[in-house]
């Protein structure tokens, strides 16, 4: 049976949305979907080696940030990087860093990003992947 494909345009650099992306990735992994993630603008900040584990910005309900982060801890929710890593271990997940986005955050080389990233890409790759994906999400 041919696997379904999920194309995820990941724009966000905020842990609330990255955590949501991790949950969705888990669902895709459970369904054996092939996943391609395109790390765009603000997400490239979160994928930088020096930021990934220290960035705790949230995009929404910002006045409840401490409560939100405490709840993630209370519920044993893995850090988004671990959720992504787990999904990578269970199904095919390719993570592409947008070359422009990387440069915005002074990330010129793949080595500037956490080891989850597979390569640096251009926008044509995203468009072509999104064109044929069974599910195309923007977060």
Binding residues vs other proteins (CB under 8 A): 23, 26-27, 29-31, 75-78, 86, 90
Beta carbons within 8 Å of 81's beta carbon, 6+ residues apart: 52, 53, 114, 116
Q: Which of these, 38, 41, 21, lies nearest to 124 by C-alpha position? A: 38
Residue 76: CB minimum distance to other proteins, A: 6
If the CB atoms of residues 42 and 91 are measured against other proteins, the closer one turns out to be 91
Torsional sign, CA 61, 66, 71, 77? positive
Residue 29: CB minimum distance to other proteins, A: 6
If the CB atoms of residues 20 and 41 are measured against other proteins, the closer one turns out to be 20
Residue 20: CB minimum distance to other proteins, A: 11
If the CB atoms of residues 20 and 59 are measured against other proteins, the closer one turns out to be 20
Distance, in Å, from the CA atom of 6 to the CA atom of 67, rounded to the nearest integer, reads 31
Maximum C-alpha span of the chain: 47
Residue 88: CB minimum distance to other proteins, A: 12
């Amino acid at each position: 049976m041919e696997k379904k494909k999920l194309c995820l345009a990941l724009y966000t650099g905020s842990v609330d949305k990255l955590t949501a992306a991790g949950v969705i990735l888990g669902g895709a992994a459970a369904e054996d979907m092939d996943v391609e993630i395109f790390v765009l603008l603000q997400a490239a900040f979160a994928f930088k080696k020096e930021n990934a584990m220290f960035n705790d910005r949230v995009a929404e309900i910002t006045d409840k940030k401490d409560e939100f982060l405490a709840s993630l801890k209370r519920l044993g929710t893995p850090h988004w990087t671990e959720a992504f890593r787990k999904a990578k271990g269970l199904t095919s997940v390719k993570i592409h860093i947008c070359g422009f986005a990387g440069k915005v955050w002074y990330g010129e080389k793949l080595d500037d990003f956490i080891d989850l990233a597979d390569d640096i890409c251009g926008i044509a790759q995203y468009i072509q992947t999104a064109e044929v994906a069974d599910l195309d999400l923007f977060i």
